[in-house]
Structure 1
Amino acid sequence: MSGQRLFKELAIVLIVALLLLYFILAAQFESLTQPFIVLLEIPIDIAGALLLVKLWGGTINIITMIGLIVMSGVIINDSILKVDTINNLRKEGMGLKEAIYTGGSRRLKPIVMVAMASLVSTAPILFSSGIGSELQRPMALALIGGMSLGTFVSLFFIPLAYWYIYRKSDKILYIRSSVNRN
């Protein structure tokens, strides 16, 4: 099987996987917009990972793709938990901004701990010189680049995107509740 054909098949599998992930997230969040908030992170993180691979002089190959898949799974999990925490706080009656701040502070430590554990455990692969190290280095670069950028995106961009999408509906709810009180 040629390399180009393999990449085409991998691209098709990736598209199908993203569609399935969207539908699963839509069912989980009971929303059609919230999965986009979470999935918006994937292209940003992949771009960061591929940039680091290229800057370090690595090659983009199947091993790099495996690193991207692993990185995407961890980062997406962080974002899902963050959005779910914000949703739960809003269901409890908390306002949009307060739910975002509280959800962010509750998820900060777990997100940073997972990122640091991943980065620290992957870093030695970059500097190893044993058998197979040339094959493992692009995967480590993809993981480190994606996890570094992905942690930043999970902590700051995901809440910002959530606020941007729901800011108008929160104002409408606030106006309705103040009218009902009077």
Structure 2
Amino acid sequence: SLNLFGAEYRTADNEVVHITLGGEWELTLEVFRDLGIAMAGAIFLVYFVLVAQFASFREPLIIMATIPLSLIGVLPGFMFLGYATGLYFNATSMIGVIALAGIAVNNSIILLEYLNSLKQTGLSLEEALIEAGTTRFRPILLTTVTTMLGSLTIANDPVWAGLAYAIVFGLGVSSVLTLIVFPVVFYMIKGRDWDAGDSQSKVGKK
């Protein structure tokens, strides 16, 4: 039987021979394992920083729900890039994915901060979500484009090309999908709180 970690053969004398993959392949597996642990640590660190910033355990979850969206851009992007140029997902690409855990949340933070300010205006949740999306679209677009262009400056480097393209693919797709997914997640998690606060503000005005 053959797998990623080696192979097992049975000889004519019914003896079992184990063959393990070593060298560069073994090193690659160890690097990806360590980077996977680093990514998990980065996600937890981002969460606790957001908890401290917003003084809430739920709002950071709304923000971090957009992190997986970057993978929707990274994986197909490298599949296409691999067929086109021979550059496949590698260790530096994984570093780029870890960086995306901290970069991709910026757009959600922009939207959440603005929504929290709109809550005091008495707008309904639907109106506030539309207002936040339209008003903050330009800052999100400019932030995304400048980050992508900055990353492309190292795309010609054979060592750091994987990192650059991971950020470009991941951030490009996640920024677009954030404008769709974030309002849905916010509505599901904070909808009742918003309606309750809106009702109290109307009672106070009366």
TM-score range, shorter chain: 0.7 to 0.9
Q: Distance in 2 between matches of 1:125 and 1:18?
A: 25
Structure 1 Cα separation of the partners of residues 146 and 160 of structure 2? 18
In the TM superposition, what is the alpha-carbon distance from 1:109 to its structure 2 partner? Answer: 0.6
Match of 2:15?
A: none
Report the 3-state secondary structure (helix = DSSP H, G, I; strand = E; otherwise coil) of the residue aligned with 2:161: helix
Is 2:71 the counterpart of 1:46? yes
Larger of the two Rg values belongs to structure = 2
> Which ranges in structure 1 are unaligned for 5 or more consecutive residues?
none
Equivalent residue, structure 1, for 2:176: 152
Corresponding residue for 1:102?
131
1:14-53 mapped onto 2 (5 Å cutoff): 14-53=39-78
Distance 2:197 2:138 in 1: 31
Q: Give the whole-Å Cα distance in 2 for the aligned partners of 1:120 and 1:21.
A: 24
TM-score (norm 2): 0.72
Q: More strand by proportion, 1 or 2?
A: 2
* Gap regions ≥5 residues in structure 2: 1-25
Greater relative contact order: 1 or 2 (C-alpha under 8 angstroms, separation 6 or more)? 1
The alignment yields a C-alpha RMSD, in angstroms, of: 2.7
Higher helix share: 1
Distance 2:131 2:194 in 1: 16
Tell me how many residue pairs correspond in the alignment. 177
% same residue: 27
Match of 2:195 among 146, 152, 171: 171
Aligned 8 A contact 2:43 2:101 in 1: no
